[in-house]
Each structure stands twice: as C-alpha cells, then as structure tokens.
C-alpha cells in the first residue's frame, strides 16, 4: 500500500461521517424545503411472563412432631396457649425464657421439615443479634438493668395517670399465647375475632381453616426462597 493510497483512506474515514449526517438531515425536508417529522419506530414491548406459583399442601407441616416436646405443631398452636412441663428442660416451646428466639423457632417449625432441620435453624442465621447487648440478671426481675439515665422513682405516684375505664372499653390486641400464631397465622380480617376468642374456641377447631389457609399462603410465597437457601420445606407440592 503506497502513501497516496493511505491518504485516500484517511480522507474517506473523515468524510464518511459527514456524508451520513447530511443524508440524514436532508431526509428531514421535502422538495419544498419544508421540514417533515421523522417517524421514530415504536419498539414492541417484551411481554411479561406469567408468574407461576406452585401450590403446596401444609398438612405435613401441622402434623410433624416438634423434637423434644412430644407433641405436633398443630397441638402446639391449638389451643393457643403456652404450656410448661416442670419435668422437662426449660426453654421455648416449654415455657419462654427472655433469651429464646421465639419468632425464629415458630417460623422454623411451621415452615421447615423438622426431620432435616432443627427448630433453631432460622435462629442460627446471622441476621439478628446473638444475645442481648447487656447480660440478663440471674435473679428477679431478670431483665437487664436500664441503660442511660432513667427518671428516678416517684414514690408518691403523682407522675402516673391511671385509667379508670370499664373493661368493656378495651380491646384485646393479642392473646399472648404461642408467639407469632395470631401475628403470622391469622389473616388481618380475622385477628380481632381470634384475639377475642378463647382456648375453648381453639379446641373446637373454630380457627383451623384460618390457620391452614394462612399457612398455605405463606408457604406458597416462601417455599421457592427456602429451597434456594438450601432449606427443605415441610409442605409437599400438590
């Protein structure tokens, strides 16, 4: 390739973009030099794939035994009471200690296959603090001492305002039985009715359809995430 040939190629490289620009500009005008709008093609949107959600049967979750307790998950939440066996080791679900990760344990026993995972599986995930920031007391009242500068006790009681409403003026917001049962396994539109009920209503299986339906919905939503995390759900696909 001689020098003249190289110079010609360089000129073409410089001129070509200019020519393209001029051609594009001329396309914007008709023969009367009147500007015409350039039509921009509208891209065809990619259709959103329809989400496919597997449906699960949670019967096996309710019937599985909770290790070390001698009762099933269904027996633990129906009736919704927190029991204690003085002959067994203390700790949730046999009673409830301040340090017990009750929500993690409850979610584990209603969602995971307890033949493959221990009830404390979720509690061991590095998501929550491993312990209270201040050690609990070994004697009553057991809670850690208050931090900061709490106000001094007022022995006269003048800084307190006590309500005198009749009991009928109040609404029970949680039975305070098994942790997370009312919160996780009862739908929003049924929480008031559930919290106003009693263990005798539970024993009559009044809320069994609610528990089963809510657990099914939670499992259908979370099963794929549990599997992706290497965990085995207790529910089975329909």
Look at residue 77 and tell me if it is in a domain.
Answer: yes
Give the residue among 156, 31, 180 at the shortest CA–CA distance from 104: 180
Q: In the prediction, which pLDDT does 150 show?
A: 65
Look at residue 206 and tell me if it is in a domain.
Answer: yes
Look at residue 162 and tell me if it is in a domain.
Answer: no
Look at residue 104 and tell me if it is in a domain.
Answer: yes
Q: How many domains does the chain divide into?
A: 1
Alpha helices in the chain (DSSP H): 3-26, 59-63, 73-77, 102-111, 181-185, 191-196, 199-203, 208-228
Look at residue 209 and tell me if it is in a domain.
Answer: yes
Give the residue among 208, 4, 200, 182 at the shortest CA–CA distance from 106: 182
Q: Which two tokens stand for residue 219?
A: 């499992």
Handedness of CA 101, 103, 107, 110 (dihedral sign): positive
Handedness of CA 129, 135, 141, 146 (dihedral sign): negative
Q: Which domain holds residue 113?
A: 56-124+171-237
Look at residue 198 and tell me if it is in a domain.
Answer: yes
pLDDT in tens, the chain (238 residues): 544 444 443 443 443 343 333 334 333 334 444 444 445 555 555 555 454 467 999 999 999 999 888 889 999 899 999 888 888 888 888 888 999 999 999 999 999 999 999 999 999 888 878 888 889 998 998 998 888 776 666 666 566 678 889 988 987 878 888 888 888 899 999 998 999 899 999 999 999 999 999 999 999 999 999 999 999 999 999 8
Look at residue 153 and tell me if it is in a domain.
Answer: no
Look at residue 33 and tell me if it is in a domain.
Answer: no
């Amino acid at each position: 390739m001689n020098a003249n040939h190289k110079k010609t190629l360089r000129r073409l490289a410089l001129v070509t973009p200019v020519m393209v620009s001029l051609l594009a500009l001329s396309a914007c005008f008709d023969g009367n030099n009147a500007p015409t709008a350039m039509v921009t093609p509208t891209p065809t949107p990619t259709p959103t794939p329809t989400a496919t959600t597997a449906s699960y049967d949670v019967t096996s979750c309710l019937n599985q035994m909770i290790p070390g307790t001698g009762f099933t998950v269904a027996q633990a939440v129906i009736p919704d009471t927190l029991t204690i066996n003085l002959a067994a080791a203390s700790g949730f679900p046999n009673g409830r200690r301040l340090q017990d990760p009750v929500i993690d344990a409850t979610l584990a026993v209603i969602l995971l296959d307890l033949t493959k995972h221990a009830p404390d599986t979720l509690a061991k995930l590095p998501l929550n603090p491993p312990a209270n920031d201040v050690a609990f007391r070994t004697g009553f009242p057991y809670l850690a001492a208050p931090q900061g500068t709490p106000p001094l006790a007022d022995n006269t009681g003048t800084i307190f305002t006590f309500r005198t409403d009749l009991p009928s003026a109040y609404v029970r917001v949680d039975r305070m039985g098994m942790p997370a049962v009312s919160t996780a396994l009862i739908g929003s539109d049924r929480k008031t009715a559930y919290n106003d009920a009693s263990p005798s209503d539970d024993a009559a299986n009044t809320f069994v359809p609610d528990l089963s339906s809510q657990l099914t919905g939670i499992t259908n939503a979370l099963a794929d995430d549990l599997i992706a995390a290497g965990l085995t759900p207790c529910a089975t696909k329909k």
